[in-house]
Amino acid sequence: MIAIIITIMVLEMKVPHDPTFRGLAGLLPVFLSYVLSFIYVGIYWNNHHHMLHATSKVSGSVLWANLHLLFWLSLFPFVTGWMGENHFAPLPTAIYGIVLLAAAIAYWILQQRIIAAEGESSRLRRAIGRDWKGKASPLLYLVAIAITFVSAGLAQAIYVLVALVWLVPDRRIEARLEHEV
Amino acid sequence: MIAIIITIMVLEMKVPHDPTFRGLAGLLPVFLSYVLSFIYVGIYWNNHHHMLHATSKVSGSVLWANLHLLFWLSLFPFVTGWMGENHFAPLPTAIYGIVLLAAAIAYWILQQRIIAAEGESSRLRRAIGRDWKGKASPLLYLVAIAITFVSAGLAQAIYVLVALVWLVPDRRIEARLEHEV
Amino acid sequence: MIAIIITIMVLEMKVPHDPTFRGLAGLLPVFLSYVLSFIYVGIYWNNHHHMLHATSKVSGSVLWANLHLLFWLSLFPFVTGWMGENHFAPLPTAIYGIVLLAAAIAYWILQQRIIAAEGESSRLRRAIGRDWKGKASPLLYLVAIAITFVSAGLAQAIYVLVALVWLVPDRRIEARLEHEV
Amino acid sequence: MIAIIITIMVLEMKVPHDPTFRGLAGLLPVFLSYVLSFIYVGIYWNNHHHMLHATSKVSGSVLWANLHLLFWLSLFPFVTGWMGENHFAPLPTAIYGIVLLAAAIAYWILQQRIIAAEGESSRLRRAIGRDWKGKASPLLYLVAIAITFVSAGLAQAIYVLVALVWLVPDRRIEARLEHEV
């Protein structure tokens, strides 16, 4: 389902009726917003995929935690379009951060539910280690949301920074590339 | 296919051109409508998935019963958008209920066809037990549809109630999380 | 991919801004057009799926024949929307028939390429038997296209008739329901 | 995910409100643009699928190279719609070529990362051989982009030519047709 989210996101980039450089320039904010969201959802896609593969036992609460995460990810096409079309105005930038924050929390909840379902010998617990990225990201999103109305540009810089931190290859995902990629 | 339905539903939430709190407030009905449908289609996704996995034998009529269910589920993006954009007006609320009702009946038919195909020793029959949720939901939808033109708000409250009843984890779906989630 | 086609088709049913019975009535042609296409693409989905499962050997030309079929099927959302929004006017009705015809021919070509790739002992050749449905359908589409500008309603009646003929359960597809349904 | 890209591309062909031959004729550029992109994305779909199946070992950098390729492919619906709606004007034609070029380079990078991950005995390296198609295509795209503002028609002719070269069946993909097709 994350593959579908990432793909339909492009539909929020509306085709301009103007075949000129001006038409193209007008698209720049929407395009940058798209690139940022592509990276975020792409990271979730990879990590979510590998987390589920490291998972051996699942309870009912894991299923709902998973659906909860997918809910927040499903809002990406919307907030991406809103932020881009309004040229990174403060409010859409803050809402974008709230979706980032909610998705990060939902991911953490899902991770905890899986570890709880697996019990003592959880493979996932060992795999994630200290998980400093997972812990620092929500804090950074919170900071970004808080300063949005002071400087939307600074908030966006934080979003980009966190995305870059996650882009750095992670030992955990050094695994066999799966079929559905 | 249910994963695709749930994902494209977000495309009915049109991006506003207004980056203000007013623009955001105007979105509230569409957003609430989206949340309700996300929960409903998410429940169908989980339950449908687990039903098919508990299924060992399939006849041609099962295939058509499955397609029949998918037809009604495929209308969710449309009725969700219609109900949300018209601020939960009575008629779209009633139509929403009719799609809920039709999907519930289609699900029940599919279940019966699978049990019939499996014969005496049907695993699915044992798994669903008395199925009181499956039996009570259509009745509640019927009540909601009937009172829509008296109080659309009451009808919507019933839709929310039924969704919450299904959200309570079910023993039947306490199974291994599948690949395609 | 056929599952995606069938699902995004609903996006061509545009949400009306009018929450009244008049708004609903205005949707009727689009809805009927949607139902017809849902049945057609659903039939292709089932049959295509089972054909590929009965297939044991594939050549490069089979891959292109498959892509060729998917091309025509991918046009369904468009022709469905065009025919519905224009209240079953003659030209969109004729174009709809041309896509039906092209898809039927493409399906037949794919079938032939698979049989050729499998050689003498082709399981698929035995499975399809005399294939009278596959042979009669293109002829009926041709007739329908020809009479569109005399009576679009008669052409549509033929489309409905052929769809119903295919809806009658087929021995060939009495197989195990697959995962991705 | 490539299957989703190819499918949602049809949504950029907007349904005209005009059920006449004039309405149909007005669609021709968008349709031709769609056909060209369908062939390109279809080729990527087949080749990408078979490349991943020939792959036995994957590093983290392969995952990102794969996401990088998917990013450029995800822009196809947009550039296809833009080029078609503006009747193959020079600028959209050049941008289309840039996306073709970037996707070709991204594909090459992905191929190199896989070969590097597999080491000395890479099956993929043997499978692709001298890869003259993969090497010539980016050069031809570059030429096409360069002459766009002289003759957009000539640039488009080059795009068509390269697509046809790839359409010629390739020994490498003569393999078992996969499930998800």
Give the DSSP H or E segment for D23: helix D21-53
Residue A134 pLDDT class (50, 70, 90 cuts): confident
pLDDT at B119: 79
The shortest C-alpha distance from A38 to chain B (Å) reads 16
| Contact predicate C19/B86, CB 8 Å | yes
| A173 chain-D contacts, CB cut-off 8 A | 60, 63
Q: Which site among A1, A72, A80, A85 would you substitute to test the B interface, given the most B Cβ atoms closer than 10 Å to its Cβ? A: A1
Tokens of D151: 């003759």
- Is there a contact between B85 and C15 if contact means CB atoms under 8 Å apart? yes
Name the interface residues of B facing C (CB cutoff 8 Å).
1, 4-5, 8, 11-12, 52, 55, 57-64, 66-67, 70-71, 74-75, 77-78, 81-82, 85-86, 89-92, 95, 180
Closest Cα in chain C to D37 = C71
pLDDT at A100 over 90: yes
pLDDT at C89: 92
pLDDT at B172: 52
Q: Pick the more confident residue, B25 or A172.
A: B25
Per-residue pLDDT tens over the stretch B81-114: 999 988 899 999 999 999 999 999 999 999 999 8
pLDDT at B16: 84
Residue C181 pLDDT class (50, 70, 90 cuts): very low
Query: Span D71-87, mean pLDDT?
Result: 94
pLDDT at B181 over 50: no
d(CA B33, CA B99): 14
pLDDT at B171 over 60: no
- Is there a contact between D77 and A177 if contact means CB atoms under 8 Å apart? no
Query: Span C143-151, mean pLDDT?
Result: 94
pLDDT at B153: 93
Among the partner-chain residues B19, B38, B181, the one whose CB lies closest to the CB of A52 is B181
pLDDT at A50 over 90: no
- Is there a contact between D5 and A4 if contact means CB atoms under 8 Å apart? no
Query: Span C142-161, mean pLDDT?
Result: 95
- Is there a contact between B77 and C20 if contact means CB atoms under 8 Å apart? no
The size of the A-D interface in CB pairs under 8 A is: 81
- Is there a contact between A1 and B169 if contact means CB atoms under 8 Å apart? no
pLDDT at C169 over 70: no
As for the ipTM of the complex, it is: 0.87
pLDDT at C7 over 80: yes
Residue D171 pLDDT class (50, 70, 90 cuts): low
**Could you tell me what percentage of chain C is helix, strand and coil, using 3-state DSSP and rounding each to the nearest 5?**
75, 0, 25
Residue A179 pLDDT class (50, 70, 90 cuts): very low
The shortest C-alpha distance from B84 to chain A (Å) reads 15
Residue C55 burial (CB < 10 Å; 0-12/13-18/19+)? buried
Among B53-67, B144-158, C135-149, which stretch is predicted with the lowest mean pLDDT? B53-67
pLDDT at A178: 40
pLDDT at C96 over 90: yes
pLDDT at B176: 38
Q: Which site among A14, A61, A67 would you substitute to test the B interface, given the most B Cβ atoms closer than 10 Å to its Cβ? A: A67
What average pLDDT does the structure give for chain B? 87
Per-residue pLDDT tens over the stretch A123-132: 788 777 778 8
The shortest C-alpha distance from A168 to chain B (Å) reads 25
Tokens of B135: 């039996």
- Is there a contact between B42 and A4 if contact means CB atoms under 8 Å apart? no
Query: Span A47-53, mean pLDDT?
Result: 85
Query: Span B130-142, mean pLDDT?
Result: 89
Per-residue pLDDT tens over the stretch A147-168: 998 999 999 999 999 999 888 7
Among the partner-chain residues C15, C21, C174, the one whose CB lies closest to the CB of B81 is C15
| Contact predicate B147/B154, CB 8 Å | yes
pLDDT at C52: 84
Query: Span A102-109, mean pLDDT?
Result: 96
Query: Span C98-120, mean pLDDT?
Result: 91
Name the interface residues of A facing D (CB cutoff 8 Å).
3-4, 6-11, 13, 15-21, 23-24, 35, 38, 42, 45-46, 167, 169-171, 173-177, 179-181
Helix (H/G/I), strand (E/B), else coil: C41: helix
Query: Span B161-176, mean pLDDT?
Result: 70
Helix (H/G/I), strand (E/B), else coil: D106: helix
DSSP classification of residue B17:
S
| Contact predicate B154/B30, CB 8 Å | no
pLDDT at C64: 87
Chains that touch D (3 or more CB pairs under 8 A): A, C
pLDDT at D87 over 60: yes
Give the torsion sign (CA, A24, A26, A32, A37). Answer: negative
User: In this prediction, what percent of chain C has a pLDDT beyond 70?
Assistant: 93
- Is there a contact between D91 and A15 if contact means CB atoms under 8 Å apart? no
Closest Cα in chain B to A55 = B177
Side-chain-facing half-sphere of A126: CA atoms under 13 Å: 8
Question: Closest Cα partner for D99 from D51, D159, D147?
Answer: D159
| A3 chain-D contacts, CB cut-off 8 A | 1, 4
pLDDT at D17 over 80: yes
- Is there a contact between D67 and A175 if contact means CB atoms under 8 Å apart? no
Q: Pick the more confident residue, C180 or C79.
A: C79
Q: Pick the more confident residue, B178 or A169.
A: A169
The shortest C-alpha distance from A11 to chain D (Å) reads 7
pLDDT at A176: 38
- Is there a contact between D92 and A6 if contact means CB atoms under 8 Å apart? no
Query: Span C19-33, mean pLDDT?
Result: 90
Closest Cα in chain C to B83 = C19
pLDDT at D179: 36
The shortest C-alpha distance from C10 to chain D (Å) reads 11
pLDDT at D143: 96
Q: Distance of CA D162 to CAs A16, D3, D32, D101, D108, Å?
A: 27, 21, 16, 12, 16
Query: Span C18-40, mean pLDDT?
Result: 92
d(CA D111, CA D101): 15
What average pLDDT does the structure give for chain D? 87
The shortest C-alpha distance from A159 to chain D (Å) reads 19
Query: Span C17-29, mean pLDDT?
Result: 88
Type of residue numbered B80: T
- Is there a contact between C7 and B12 if contact means CB atoms under 8 Å apart? no
What average pLDDT does the structure give for chain C? 87
Tokens of A26: 């007008």
pLDDT at B174 over 70: no
- Is there a contact between A64 and B15 if contact means CB atoms under 8 Å apart? no
pLDDT at B118 over 90: no
The shortest C-alpha distance from D147 to chain C (Å) reads 30
pLDDT at C117: 84
Provide the residue ranges of all domains of chain B, joining segments of one domain with +: 2-12+28-171
| D11 chain-A contacts, CB cut-off 8 A | 11
Among A161-165, B12-16, B54-58, B76-80, which stretch is predicted with the lowest mean pLDDT? B54-58
The shortest C-alpha distance from B44 to chain C (Å) reads 13
Give the torsion sign (CA, C174, C177, D1, D7). Answer: positive
pLDDT at C170: 57
Whose tokens are 């009937």? That residue is B146
| B166 chain-A contacts, CB cut-off 8 A | none
Q: Which site among C37, C73, C78, C99 would you substitute to test the D interface, given the most D Cβ atoms closer than 10 Å to its Cβ? A: C78
Q: Where are the alpha helices (DSSP H) in B75-131?
A: 76-85, 90-118, 123-128
Chains that touch B (3 or more CB pairs under 8 A): A, C
